[in-house]
Amino acid sequence: MSHKISSLEQYREVYQKSVQQPEAFWSSIAESFEWEKRWDNVLKWNFISPEVKWFSNGKLNITENCLDRHLVLDSDKTAIIWEPNGINEPTRKLSYKELAEEVNKFSNVLRDLGAEKGDRICLYMPMVPELTIAVLACARIGAIHSVVFAGFSAQSLGDRINDAGCKILITADGLFRGSKTVNLKAIADEALELTSVIKSVVVFKRTGEDVPMLPSRDYWWGDLMEDASIEAAPEIMDSEDPLFILYTSGSTGKPKGVVHSTAGYMIYAYYTFLNVFQYESEDIFWCTADVGWITGHTYIIYGPLLNGATTVMFEGVPNFPDAGRFWAIIDKLQVTKFYTAPTAIRSLMAAGTDFVNPYKLSSLKVIGSVGEPINEEAWHWYDEHIGKKRCPIVDTWWQTETGGIMIAPIAHVTPTKPTFATLPLPGVQPILVDSEGNELKENDVEGLLCMKFPWPGIIRTTYGDHERCRQNYFTTFPGLYFTGDGCRRDKDGYYRIIGRVDDVMNVSGHRLGTAEVENAIDEHKNVIESAVVGFPHEIKGQGIFAFVITESLIGDITQFENEIRDLVSKIISPIAKPDKIVVVPGLPKTRSGKIMRRILRKIAEGDTSNLGDITTLLDPGVVDEIIQLIQIKK
């Protein structure tokens, strides 16, 4: 039975059913998968503990559904098309059969290294097919993968390895990103100094540079794979066994490990990919995210492969060798469905249509957006110059914690509206509340976005710290999952996401906590205290503005700023580098010592005309001093 929705009327019917009979709705989708044993119970849940269990006691392995299932009829179909960073290197294609064999081989390699069900394995890799192979091999043997974006620093990698207690690290000698080469193994080695939990390191050869290999810890991927068998029995997993951990930033403390389960995530990734993009078997689907983020997990790997689709994996960056690269690849590979982030659209829009015009984009049928609010100008440019007004834009709202798309148009079904994520997908029950938690029942309102009922892809816990999961998402409004986003629902019931209402920034679609960046800045020997806020940035969506109090006067301000940026790069990642740094004599604090970020946000936005009530500040004078300093700096 097809689960694909093909008209607005059908969407409304299916949506009603999914809300009135969620168990019947989701089990009809679960029926279409391969199970070793059927589930006993469709759903048990409460949002207080919280505890959510979908398809209890069902037994399965997700890779049988991503791979083995397609080998019967589609073994020669292309599973992955890999486009390298450099334009002179050839495209690589792997059929479902080849991918399944590689996954089996690497599963055997991992088992030979002692990996067992439930072990955590860290992946710190370039965007090469071997990353997907390693992800799936972990899933095949029941190990929990924790992919760390290869732009993160040694410190961030080390912290994530320690938090999850990873036994094996899979990395590469280096990676190519645009005109740059990054020596990944050197960063991995630095991270390994910070941890003692890793027993083995597997190194994939990508750049061919010389890297030190520690005997009886470090192994070359190629050597281990040489004699590995192409048969590997899948580990039988319980529906609720964790499939992966993915670290993401919150408003406090260090990034937390979001844990997703096996069956629920699988069903949700499958269903949302099928419907939002209206998947057709001849599609060439390209999601430009990195596998290091949730978008890559769900819409480069799991969603497409569960549907038997052909998925494109691109190693490079949008502006290398020039700003036409995305459009050149769409033309070359005849991409039919394209999914990218507003920040990329804005930067390519700034480069101009001369980079678009040389390429034929007539293969495109659907174009998507994810990760941050898309502004009107970017939406229209995308619509006109890329979709040529023929392709619906699916503006998809979701989060690392939701596992898959939650609010989005269904392509060719839901009428789109610029900057609106439109309507909830079947099974998704959003509500808007005011700051006291009262539901805003009417349309044409603005409030805080929450979910009142679980969907299969919901976060199960934060690794090793369930209390943090409860505190973060389930205590602000008891009985609801709180997303952290502000949202408007217009007169037609369409949702438009406004942005985070907590201390989380969204920089080029990357999620960063203000506290994380402040902690890194505070490591500078001359810094006493800092406060960081996001501010509107033309390309990045949000930029990072840092207000810093120093111990002594700064002689060379440029040098000081460079030191701060280097420090943040080193501790977190270059993506977290502040765009603007201003040294201030004090910070606006309340009498109880709390920094009033609301005021700093206004100042950073350049909107100092209406700062609201500042009389509760310990030293209201500091606000004027900061404003003046910024004006002098300009």
In the set 484, 534, 543, 578, which binds ligand PRX (CB under 6 A)? 484
DSSP string, 244-309: EEEEE--SSSS-EEEEEESHHHHHHHHHHHHHHTT--TT-EEEE-S-TTSHHHIIIIIIHHHHTT-
In sequence order, what are the residues at sequence separation of 6 or more whose Cβ sits closer than 8 angstroms to the Cβ of residue 63?
103, 136, 139, 140, 234
CB of 459 to ligand PRX, least distance (A): 10
The conformation of residue 386, written as its DSSP 8-state character, comes to I
CB-nearer residue toward ligand PRX: 111 or 511: 511
- Evaluated on CA atoms 401, 406, 407, 410, the torsion sign reads positive
As a whole number of angstroms, the distance between CA 275 and CA 26 comes to 14
In the set 506, 508, 514, 573, which binds ligand PRX (CB under 6 A)? 506
Q: Does 295 bind ligand PRX (CB under 6 A)?
A: yes
CB-nearer residue toward ligand PRX: 224 or 267: 267
Q: Does 371 bind ligand PRX (CB under 6 A)?
A: yes
As a whole number of angstroms, the distance between CA 596 and CA 616 comes to 10
Q: Does 516 bind ligand PRX (CB under 6 A)?
A: no
CB-nearer residue toward ligand PRX: 200 or 369: 369
CB of 345 to ligand PRX, least distance (A): 12
Smallest CA-to-CA distance from 346 within 315, 317, 314, 381 is with: 381
Q: Does 497 bind ligand PRX (CB under 6 A)?
A: yes
In the set 294, 364, 425, 458, which binds ligand PRX (CB under 6 A)? 294
CB of 395 to ligand PRX, least distance (A): 5
CB of 166 to ligand PRX, least distance (A): 21
CB of 225 to ligand PRX, least distance (A): 32
CB of 358 to ligand PRX, least distance (A): 29
Q: Does 485 bind ligand PRX (CB under 6 A)?
A: yes
The conformation of residue 593, written as its DSSP 8-state character, comes to S
Partners of 46 in beta bridges: 51
Burial tier of 426 (Cβ tally within 10 Å: 0-12, 13-18, 19+): buried
Q: Which stretch binds ligand PRX (CB under 6 A): 41-49, 348-356, 492-500, 546-554?
A: 492-500
Q: Are 72 and 253 in contact (CB under 8 A)?
A: no
As a whole number of angstroms, the distance between CA 151 and CA 283 comes to 30
CB of 559 to ligand PRX, least distance (A): 33
CB-nearer residue toward ligand PRX: 333 or 449: 449
CB-nearer residue toward ligand PRX: 18 or 400: 400
In the set 308, 373, 392, 403, which binds ligand PRX (CB under 6 A)? 373
CB of 32 to ligand PRX, least distance (A): 25
Name the residue with tokens 């048990």: 44
CB-nearer residue toward ligand PRX: 122 or 405: 405
Q: Look at residue 94 and give its three-state secondary structure.
A: strand
Q: Does 511 bind ligand PRX (CB under 6 A)?
A: yes
Q: Are 277 and 368 in contact (CB under 8 A)?
A: yes
CB-nearer residue toward ligand PRX: 60 or 504: 504
As a whole number of angstroms, the distance between CA 456 and CA 43 comes to 9
CB-nearer residue toward ligand PRX: 25 or 477: 477
Burial tier of 137 (Cβ tally within 10 Å: 0-12, 13-18, 19+): buried
Site for ligand PRX in 334-353 (CB under 6 A): none
Q: Does 372 bind ligand PRX (CB under 6 A)?
A: yes
Burial tier of 198 (Cβ tally within 10 Å: 0-12, 13-18, 19+): buried
As a whole number of angstroms, the distance between CA 348 and CA 287 comes to 16
Long-range contacts of 593-597 (CB under 8 A, 24+ apart): 593/618, 595/531, 597/503, 597/514, 597/531, 597/533
CB-nearer residue toward ligand PRX: 39 or 495: 495
Count residues binding ligand PRX (CB under 6 A): 23
The conformation of residue 402, written as its DSSP 8-state character, comes to G
CB of 289 to ligand PRX, least distance (A): 8
In the set 95, 156, 248, 416, which binds ligand PRX (CB under 6 A)? 248
* H/E stretch holding 398: none
CB of 486 to ligand PRX, least distance (A): 9
Q: Are 301 and 132 in contact (CB under 8 A)?
A: yes
Q: Does 370 bind ligand PRX (CB under 6 A)?
A: yes
Record the tokens describing residue 138, joined without a space. Answer: 């972990």
CB of 369 to ligand PRX, least distance (A): 6
In the set 105, 120, 160, 500, which binds ligand PRX (CB under 6 A)? 500
Site for ligand PRX in 381-400 (CB under 6 A): 395-400
CB-nearer residue toward ligand PRX: 109 or 576: 576
CB-nearer residue toward ligand PRX: 55 or 397: 397
Q: Is 419 left (phi over 0), alpha (psi -120 to 50) or beta?
A: left
CB of 292 to ligand PRX, least distance (A): 11
Q: Does 200 bind ligand PRX (CB under 6 A)?
A: no
For ligand PRX, the binding residues (CB under 6 A) are 248, 294-295, 369-373, 395-400, 421, 483-485, 497, 499-500, 506, 511
